[in-house]
Structures are given as C-alpha cells and as structure tokens.
Amino acid sequence: MSDQVQVVLIAAAWAGGVGVLGLGLAWLLRRLSVRWLATLVAVVAVGAVVAGMVGTARAMFLSDHDFGVVLLVALVAGVVAVTVAMAVGGAFAGWSHSLQQDARRFGESGEFVGDSRGPAELRALSDELARTSAKLAESRTREARLEDSRRELVSWVSHDLRTPLAGLRAMTEALEDGLAEDPGRYHRQIRSEVDRMVRMVDDLFELSRIHAGVLRLSLQPVALGDLVSEALAGADPVARARKVRLGGSVEDGLLLHADPAELSRVLSNLLMNAIRHTPADGVVEIHGRAVPEGVELSVTDGCGGLSAEDMARVFDVAWQGSTARTPHATDGPAGSGAGLGLAIVKGIVEAHRGRVAVANHAPGCQFLVQLPT
C-alpha cells in the first residue's frame, strides 16, 4: 500500500469518527437554535481536520514542534470558523424571528406585511404568506359583499311586501265598511297585488334553491326555437299593452341539453325586463344562434343604455335601478319584482354551465346568454 493511500485511509477513519460524533450531536441539538447547529458544523469541520492530522502525524514525519504549530493554526482557524458560523446562524435566527413576528401580526390583523429577506427558503415562506394574505383579503371582501346583499335583500323584501300589504289592508277595510265606490276595481287590484306577491315569494324560493345548491336540473334535449316561441307568445300580451314591438328569430335545428322549465324562466325574466325598460313604440328582440361554445341567446331592448356601474350590479341579488322600487299594481307580470329576476337568470344559466352578460347596444342594452349544447 502506498504511503498516500495509507494516509487517506487513516485520515478518513479519524475524520469520519469525528463526523459521526458530529451527526450524533446534531441530532441531540436538533431542537436548539440554528445558530448552535451552524456552530456545530464549524466545530466538526475543524475537529475533523485536527483528528485527521493527529491520526496521520506519524505518517507525515512531523516533528513535535511542527505538529504543535499545525495544531495552533487549526485552533485559530477553528476560532474563525466558529465566529463566522455564529454570525451566519445569528443572522438566520434574526430573519426567522422577524418572519415569526410578521406571521404573528398576520394572525392578529389578518393582513401580512412582510419584507422578503434572508435565504431563499425564508423568502419563499414569506412570499407564500403574502399570497395567503391576499387570498384571505379577497374572500373577506366577497363575504362582506354577500352579507351586504343578504341584508339588503331582507330589508328590500320586507319593504316590497309591506307596501302592497298596507294597500291590501286599506282596500279590504274599505270594502268591509262599504266605503268602496267601485268594489269591482278594488277586487281586481287586490287580485293583482296578490299575484305580484305570489310571484315575489316564488322568486325568493327559486333563489334560495339556487343559493342552497339544491336546484335539480332535469336535463333533456330542448329545441331552442320552440322555447323561444313559447316565451314570445307568453310575453306578447304584455308587450301589446305597453305598445312594444316584439320579435325574434332562432337558427333552424338548434338543440341543447337543458331544463326546459328553468330555461323558460330565464327567457321570460329577460323578456319581461326588456319590455318594461323599453318605451312605447320601442323594439324588443330575441335571437338564438350557434356559436363555437354552444348556443348564444341575445335579448335586445330599447332601454336607452346602462351606466358601467349599473351593468356591474344588475345581476346582484336585490339590486334594482333607481326608478324600479315604486311598485305599481297595474304593471302586471312585467312589473318590477324585488330585484331577483336577473340573479335568478344568472343562477339558472350558471347551473347549466353557461354564462350571462350585459352590454350596451344602441338604442338599448343587450343581455347575452351562452349555453353549452
């Protein structure tokens, strides 16, 4: 065996021994600060060098004096290494402590403000926390909006029910006391108020089914042309009464997989809205055509255009335009509901995995429904 191989083997045995000892110590100290672990690594590194030298001192033919010098040099190197290790470990501990403080503030305030400092792992952790914080903020806003709209819904619905109920009480009292000059008119008005409230309660029920996720669609092949014809026929008397011209066309042979009853509700809500917002002599049109995504339905009216803010809110539950919340019993089925119609439209369309949108389309606006076939 050559001298060098011998030296390598002896040094490996001694240094390896120190290494194993170091691993054992590291395992024992694993719960301490990273500062102590870094120091341990430095001590083990220098210790391994010293152990290797002690083991091979004879093979190197070092004099006692030279060996003493080498050990001294190793000692000084050891002190330097330990100092550097403690400084680096200390810095790491500092970064980790400041991240810990940031995380604690995150827990208290719900908002993470941290700066990405330190080594890659800590920066990645800090970035992850920042992302989580952004997601939390987003869901808080969504929750607050939902809560707002729920509160709004309850208050508007009670308002919308109280007004006609007060009217009904006044009319029934007048009838009871024999004070009504034209009882027939009162009866008709009572009937139409009751119809309106029934529609409102029905809308509320539908919306609660949509929101609870218990809307069960019975999907079947539906000929869009037939559905649109039915909706137009249903809306025709109302359009005539308001002198709105109603028209439409659907490409031949458009079939889709849908729940016909729910889809009819979508069409009739959109048509009634369009008729209500179109002035006399205006035009309301409904068109159906095939698009790459499936089928597209458009309902165009003469509402005079919507502002960007209105367009952003039309599908919100209980939202109504400025003039809508003055119920007129004479409005009939085209009258305003409780601001639920478009929320229901959106809910039903999305349950069909479709999309609904609104855009301005002179002289009015256009509601576009896209449904997969």
Ligand X SMILES: Nc1ncnc2c1ncn2[C@@H]1O[C@H](COP(=O)(O)OP(=O)(O)O)[C@@H](O)[C@H]1O
Q: Distance between CA atoms of 227 and 230, rounded to whole angstroms?
A: 5
Comparing every residue's Cβ against ligand X, the nearest one is 321
Q: Which does 277 bind (CB under 5 to 8 A by kind): ligand X, Mg ion, none?
A: ligand X
Question: Which residues form the interface with ligand X (CB under 6 A)?
Answer: 273-274, 277, 301, 303, 306, 314, 319-321, 324, 336-343, 365
| C-alpha separations of 100 from 78, 104, 106, 113 in Å | 32, 6, 10, 12
Q: Please, are residues 319 and 339 in contact by the beta-carbon 8 Å criterion? A: yes
Cβ 266 to ligand X shortest distance, Å: 11
Cβ 323 to ligand X shortest distance, Å: 7
Nearer to ligand X, 320 or 370 (CB): 320
- Widest distance between CA atoms in the chain: 132
Nearer to ligand X, 266 or 342 (CB): 342
Nearer to ligand X, 236 or 331 (CB): 331
For strands 364-371 and 294-300, give the pairing: antiparallel
Q: Which does 274 bind (CB under 5 to 8 A by kind): Mg ion, ligand X, none?
A: ligand X
Nearer to ligand X, 40 or 314 (CB): 314
DSSP string, 192-246: HHHHHHHHHHHHHHHHHHHHTT------EEEEHHHHHHHHHHHHHHHHHHTT-EE
**Beta-sheet strand order (sheet of 364-371):** 245-250, 283-291, 294-300, 364-371, 355-361
The span of 74-82, 97-105, 162-170, 267-275 binding Mg ion (CB under 5 A) equals: 267-275
The span of 87-95, 196-204, 271-279, 322-330 binding Mg ion (CB under 5 A) equals: 271-279
Cβ 177 to Mg ion shortest distance, Å: 36
Nearer to ligand X, 99 or 306 (CB): 306
Site for Mg ion in 331-350 (CB under 5 A): 341
Q: How many residues does the chain have?
A: 373
Comparing every residue's Cβ against Mg ion, the nearest one is 341
Cβ 308 to ligand X shortest distance, Å: 13
Q: Distance between CA atoms of 367 and 346, rounded to whole angstroms?
A: 11
Cβ 182 to Mg ion shortest distance, Å: 30
Q: Distance between CA atoms of 205 and 200, rounded to whole angstroms?
A: 9
Q: Which does 339 bind (CB under 5 to 8 A by kind): Mg ion, ligand X, none?
A: ligand X
Which residues lie below 8 Å from residue 91, measured CB to CB, with a gap of 6+? 118
| 259 phi and psi angles, rounded to 5 deg | -90, 110
Nearer to ligand X, 89 or 341 (CB): 341
For 29, the token pair is: 């100290």
273 forms part of the interface with Mg ion (CB under 5 A) = yes
Number of residues that bind Mg ion (CB under 5 A): 2
Cβ count within 10 A of residue 38: 22
> Footprint of Mg ion on this chain (CB under 5 A)?
273, 341
